[in-house]
Amino acid sequence: MAYILTRVHPKGASTMPDDFDVDVIKLIRLTGLRESEIVQAREQKDMTWKHIQKSVSEHNHFIEMGEKHTRQKAVQDPVHGAILLEPWELDLISTWEMLRLRYVRQLGPAHLVYPGATHTRFEHCLGTNFLAQKSIRVVNYCDDLNTACFQPFSRLLDDYHQKLFRAAALLHDCGHPPTSHTIEYALESWVGLDHLDLGEFLLLNSGLNDVLNQHEIEPHDVIDIFRRRGTNPIMNLLSEFLDHPLDIDKTDYLIRDAHFSGVQLGIFPAERVLLTNRVVKNRDGKYIRAFMLKALHSLEALILSRNWMYMDLYFHTTVKLTEAMVSKATYFRMKEENLSKNECIGLFTRMTDGDLFRWLEESDVEFVREYAARIRYRKLFKVVLSRPLSSFEADTQKFFRETLHDIKKLIDAENEVSDEPGEVLIDVVSPPLGEKTLGQIPLLVGGEQGFDLINLDESQEGRPLMQILKQQARTLPSVRVYADVPNADQVRKKFDKTFPVADIPTYREDEYDLTEY
């Protein structure tokens, strides 16, 4: 059965763990069966194995039904308009792996608050690809800032690198589990995997790998862009376009999320930001992205729009509550099933949002089923307490920041203030405002006689913006506690006893977490 043969990839070292079974994972993806069931069926060649072979045969039948694309087509996007895709791009988005993203919501359960926010990871991938195409067309580059001679970016990228840039933009979110970032905290906590790990597996061991190789795109090159591990200066530059404080990924999701949610705070002059972006060689001889000084107000609009979107959309109290419920339920469901790494890779690259909620509803853990039902009926907990993070003692602040990366500590804290498992949810809100990372964005200062590079936080014009970001970093991080209203007083008393506030609010700038959403 050729489908389940393990490929050997001589080029590049994978960052994926080496203790997984590719053949088993592929069969988990196709059937949804447990690893033990597949291993046993494979050894005994029983009826289960015959059903597995039938599933593989049916899958291959549907995969082979489609014909390869031979001409360019346009996909109509509500944000960017017509997005022109080449035949090889159409082949990529026709794979089973990319089609799954049509049923994975970009903002997870945020539609419970903003009904229009039902757009998907698939649409976002198309939008990021569009911005990659546009960057190739409109961005200029300069090898020598002393001459101030700019040329079209398309001359710096050869045909392969242009193709690679577009492929990476299209595939950058291919590994997102159901509900996108919502359950990533649970997944990392249980088996140490994130959506990049899942995406890497798919790029090396699925239909995506076949299509990329058929069109002479090296899958490891795409992964190197995502992982920022290339030594080629052009490859590193492509990584910057996709992983940067103001990259094309963030540009698309800010505009797209604002459009579909109706939160207009995400609107900013994206066209001008792109047009005033330049690729230059810095003093170390590396190609980097820089922005013209005249674009500063547009950059300010983008940065502030991003932070406002965190407050009004991404970190909205009810959105965060629902995400916390889904994440916690998923963690306990994985714990209940004692899922292996193979099973996590297989199941979460198979599931859609609907599949995830059905899986949660089948749990034997009462509060996991209750959470799924509460979300279905929209009978959610309420905020019973909200405190600035700076209002706690330094040790307590440190503890809460650690819960952002340690789900066991978070669960212990919840159990301290509740009588029954699942009665209370604690959410630590520490938005990535970027007072450190955004300050390092280089600006081009000068004119016809040449340019100098100066960081945003070193420029006189950028200081007011940096002061705003630092002020937000001091005041916005908070701790929220959710519970049913009848339990509010009891929960508040227990929380205050366990986590008392400081006599004098404390703040240490170097301790604030800046983890991306």
Q: Per residue of the chain (517 residues), give pLDDT as tens.
A: 233 323 333 344 445 556 789 999 999 999 999 999 999 999 999 999 999 999 999 999 998 887 899 999 999 999 999 999 999 999 999 999 999 999 999 999 999 999 999 999 999 999 999 999 999 999 999 988 888 788 999 999 999 999 999 999 999 999 999 999 999 999 999 999 999 999 999 999 999 999 999 999 999 999 999 999 878 999 999 999 999 888 999 999 999 999 999 987 777 788 888 888 999 988 888 999 999 888 888 888 888 888 888 888 999 999 999 999 999 999 999 999 999 999 999 999 999 999 999 999 999 999 999 999 999 999 999 999 999 999 999 999 999 999 999 999 999 999 999 999 999 999 999 888 887 888 889 998 886 677 888 998 888 888 888 888 888 888 889 999 999 999 999 999 999 999 999 875 544 433 333 333 3
- Note the pLDDT of residue 448: 66
* Maximum alpha-carbon separation in the chain: 78
Looking up tokens 């393990």 gives 6
Gap between the Cα atoms of 480 and 316, Å rounded: 11
Q: Does residue 368 sit within a domain? A: no
Q: Does residue 415 sit within a domain? A: no
Q: Does residue 32 sit within a domain? A: yes
Q: What is the pTM of this model?
A: 0.91
Q: Does residue 417 sit within a domain? A: no
Q: Does residue 73 sit within a domain? A: no
**Pick from 275, 19, 332, 15: which is nearest to 152 by CA?**
275
H-only helix segments in 101-180: 121-138, 159-171
Gap between the Cα atoms of 235 and 221, Å rounded: 8
Gap between the Cα atoms of 417 and 496, Å rounded: 9
Amino acid identity, position 310: Y
CA distances from 131 to 102, 199, 269, 272, 273 (A): 20, 21, 14, 13, 12
- Note the pLDDT of residue 514: 33
Q: Does residue 34 sit within a domain? A: yes
Q: Does residue 35 sit within a domain? A: yes
Helix (H) or strand (E) holding 182: none
Gap between the Cα atoms of 216 and 163, Å rounded: 10
Looking at the structure of the chain, the number of domains it has is 1
Helix (H) or strand (E) holding 355: helix 353-361
By residue range, what is the domain housing residue 10?
Answer: 2-65
Q: Does residue 45 sit within a domain? A: yes
